[in-house]
Structure 1
Amino acid sequence: MSQQVTSIGDVSKHVSRTFTATANSSFIETVKLDHVVWKTKVYHTIWSEGSESDAQLADDTSCRLGRWYHEGLGYQRYRHLNSYARLEEPHAAVHRHGFKAIECHRNGNGAQAINHLEQMEKASERVVAILSDLETEIERDGLA
């Protein structure tokens, strides 16, 4: 009977770790998608000549990833990880360049707007890569 209880406990721990790993992976994929949606809103704001308000675009601390990073589970569980530390600057840059692109476009400076969009995209590529690295680091270190 004791062996059965131990086996059930082991299976239960395994299932719990699997659920946690799946939740972490799902969250990271969700914020990658959110990231794409946010950039799409920047482009839409520019293409529609500003009919969408900047206020509808979250900044880097109030978007889902920003809240997770600065005060949520990311901060609580993963702030000691290398990938986590590398995420803040490019994530802020995505938002900064997105807002600057809109501002430049509204001020009639199309060349600067394009430059900021390009910088936004470069920072975005870094964010997505770092999120993938973070997911790997979480799994590798058994932090899921």
Structure 2
Amino acid sequence: MKLDHVVWKSEVYRRFWGKSEKSLDTFSDHTECRLGKWYYQGDGKKSFSHLHSFKAIEAPHRDVHTKGIEALQFAEQNKTDDAFNSLSDMETASDKVLTLLTAIESDIVNTYTSGTTTSIHQHSTEAEIF
């Protein structure tokens, strides 16, 4: 999912710099990207929603999408300073998302190797982790 996250951001930059013709309305929001589907509808919600790190990722993940799309909207309106500020905010949120994805991975490993629940191997066959 980290790679998907980076690819989504790269599409924002490609569009921002005029290297992509991708329509603004085709950029997914935070619930429709792969991470969002995993978080809201998929194995993430079902299997890992009890983890603090899992809960903490929602706001910065939403901000990545909101600020990225906002930057493109500002760029279309020739509000360059606002666009760059939104890109900066997107990057700040993105750093948090990547840090939290690593924390989720660590929490999963720690939880399922500490003997407090089923083994990670059994659990990972039931749920997509990353």
In the superposition, the TM-score normalised over structure 1's length comes to 0.76
In the superposition, the TM-score normalised over structure 2's length comes to 0.84
Whole-Å Cα distance in 1 between the matches of residues 97 and 16 of structure 2?
A: 22
Is there any run of 5+ residues in structure 2 with no aligned partner, and where? 113-118, 121-130
1:97-108 → structure 2 map (5 Å cutoff): 97-108=67-78
SS of residue paired to 1:52: coil
- % identical equivalent positions: 38
Residue of structure 1 equivalent to 2:97: 127
1:19-58 → structure 2 map (5 Å cutoff): 31-48=1-18, 51-58=21-28
Contact 1:46 1:105 in 2 (8 A): yes
Is there any run of 5+ residues in structure 1 with no aligned partner, and where? 1-30
Structure number with larger C-alpha Rg: 1
Question: Which residue of the other structure, out of 47, 58, 63, is the alignment partner of 2:33?
Answer: 63
Determine whether 1:76 maps to 2:23: no
Deviations 1:21-60 (A, max 9, x none): xxxxxxxxxx100111000100111111772212332110
Consecutive aligned runs of 4 or more in structure 1 exceeding 2 Å deviation: none
Q: In structure 2, what residue type is equivalent to 1:97?
A: K
Aligned length: 114
Deviations 1:95-143 (A, max 9, x none): 0000000000000100000000000000000000000000000000006
Residue of structure 1 equivalent to 2:84: 114
SS of residue paired to 1:134: helix
